[in-house]
Amino acid sequence: MRRCPFRSEDDKQKGRQKVLGLASELKAGHAKTSEEEVLRMLSHVHDDDVASIIRNDSCLLRFAESLYNKHGHDPSKHEYIRQKIRELGRLLQTLRKRSPDMTIEDALRPKNFLSLIKAVKETAGFDKKKNDYKTPSIALKLGHSLVKVNDIITCHALIAEDEDGIKSSKAFMKLYRAKWSEYVSHSALSTIADKKYNKTMKLPLTEDVTKLHSHLDKRTELASEALKNETTAHSYSSLAKATLTKIVIFNRRRVGEVSKIKLKNFLERDQSNTHEKRGLSDYEQKLCTYFERVELKGKRGRKVAVLLTPNMTKALNLLVEKREERGVPVENEYLFAIPNCLTYYRGHECLRKFADECGAQEPEYLRSTRLRKEMATTSQILNLKNNELDQLADFMGHDLAVHRQFYRLSEPTIQSAKISKILLALEKGMLHEVRGKSLEEIGDNTDDEEDTSEEEDAISDGDTPRVNSSQEVLDSDKNTSAPMGPSRNPKKRLAEHNGMV
């Protein structure tokens, strides 16, 4: 390893396993046709039988190149690419139990379609008696990957003008569209849906969120003072982790989005404070000058933003100031960079760590997804207007339909608290009394209705209720949802009651 003439400067920091992985790639039969960057990425794959299968299958290497061309510029996506390749490698390993010389390209021939179905089911752990999968997501992912591999085969056949290859790939797609749902995806989707029955989604407690905010404020303050006095590795990492977690909690952002904020996004943020403030209240205008806004890339390439308080901005400026002193490489483009590395601090690890430290009653609920659901649930309770709901969904970085279907208050809560009001009214035959009311208004004056019904029973039995004053009669009329006598007019009702007394 020390004397290898082909060792690059980047390989000096790598270990023995890295060198052996590169050597395995170079020994593979199809390695010469692949790009060096792809081979280096695949050298991190766990060196086992599946890795050997991947290195020696031309279609899998082409698929890896295709994914690398799309996502390879982002190092954080390399693990995703390796995972997708290993899934197909496991499928090919299952296929070779029956046909030792099988390749992915052979598996996608129409004559091997049924064998491919059996291999996918076996890889995903299909139980024929129960008609469900142990890991249904694997079956669905393999279907999507096989379609992409077939597209790659089709493109190469078109370039080579291979008529037989073109016909074969088109025939496979015809079989896939006609039979894949019947044999694989329908059962997989049913298994996923069945696992969601009676599965509750608990939201974090308000007290726990408050404790976490207080704990993060203290940690940020202590770490900032320590970093100003002496630039140590511990103080730098403590401030970076606390600030990262604080931004995630405050903005209810996905941890991956905040973790991968680029340094240039923070430095190029708009600090002019020249917002268009016409139509805003005084309080809203003050908020515009209080917060700073940083735009970043969210899920599916959407542009999302985070709002920074003055304390967050001070902490981030201190981190940027101490980057070079703490040994953060110039090539590291992330704001929350790890010293002497090209990677960043992981938001989910930081959030889990601080949730356990803050003394929360239910620390396992303090996760970014649950906090985002809490925010969406609050928006439902506030009964926001459509345009306000659009703004909230856009800030959270997802479509309004996704916001309503997956992030709002869970169906069990809605059915138990809201829809049950209608069912009770139908059961008691009181539907006419709630006519024209919203779900929020139904049941708000239940006690008044019960008192009114007792008064009606007393009148019908000849036991006249005591009326102290005309104001009590008017008040009782206002609180009664159904008329007590022949007339709905309050003044006539007053005269009738006085006549009875």
Instruction: Report the distance separating Cα 322 and Cα 228, nearest Å.
Output: 9
Least confident window among 25-39, 215-229, 330-344: 25-39
Q: What is the CATH number of the domain that holds 308?
A: 1.10.443
Give the whole-angstrom CA distance, residue 184 versus residue 14. 42
d(CA 394, CA 404): 13
Together in a domain, 225 and 135: no
Q: How confident is the model at residue 412 (pLDDT cuts 50, 70, 90)?
A: low
User: Cα separations (Å) of 226 from 9, 221, 243, 323?
Assistant: 35, 9, 14, 15
- Measuring CA to CA, which residue among 149, 157, 144 is closest to residue 64? 149
Q: What integer pLDDT is reported at residue 416 of this predicted model? A: 60
Cα 141 off chain centre by: 18
Residue 391 in domain: no
Would you say residue 421 has pLDDT above 90?
A: no
Q: What is the dihedral of CA 250, 252, 257, 260, to 10 degrees?
A: 20
Q: Percentage of residues in the chain with pLDDT exceeding 90?
A: 39
Q: For residues 206 and 36, give the distance between their C-alpha atoms in angstroms, rounded to a whole number.
A: 52
Clarify whether residues 188 and 87 are in a common domain: yes
Q: Collapsing DSSP states into helix, strand and coil, what is residue 90?
A: helix
Q: Domain ends where: 366, 394, 422?
A: 366
Mean confidence (pLDDT) of the chain? 78
Is residue 243 over pLDDT 90?
yes
349 and 459 part of one domain: no
In a domain, 3, yes or no: no
Same domain, 342 and 459: no
Report the domain count for the chain: 3
Same domain for 213 and 149?
no
Residue 397 has pLDDT above 70, yes or no: no
In a domain, 346, yes or no: yes
Domain that includes residue 355, residue range:
206-366
Q: Assess if residue 120 is contained within a domain.
A: yes
Q: How confident is the model at residue 15 (pLDDT cuts 50, 70, 90)?
A: low
Q: Give the residue ranges of DSSP H helices in 415-462.
A: 420-427, 446-460
What are 473-500's pLDDT values in tens digits? 334 444 444 444 444 454 444 444 444 4
- The verdict on 250 and 150 lying in the same domain is no
Quote the pLDDT of residue 46: 83
Least-confidence region, from 41-50, 186-195, 274-283, 459-468: 459-468
pLDDT band at 115 (very low <50, low <70, confident <90, very high): very high
Residue 246 inside a domain? The answer is: yes
160 and 263 share a domain? no
Strand bridging mode 303-308 / 126-127: unpaired
- Beta carbons of 378 and 384 less than 8 angstroms apart: no
pLDDT the model gives residue 490 = 46
- pLDDT (0 to 100) of residue 385: 62
- Mind listing the pLDDT tens digit for each residue in 89-98? 999 999 999 8
pLDDT of the residue at 2: 66
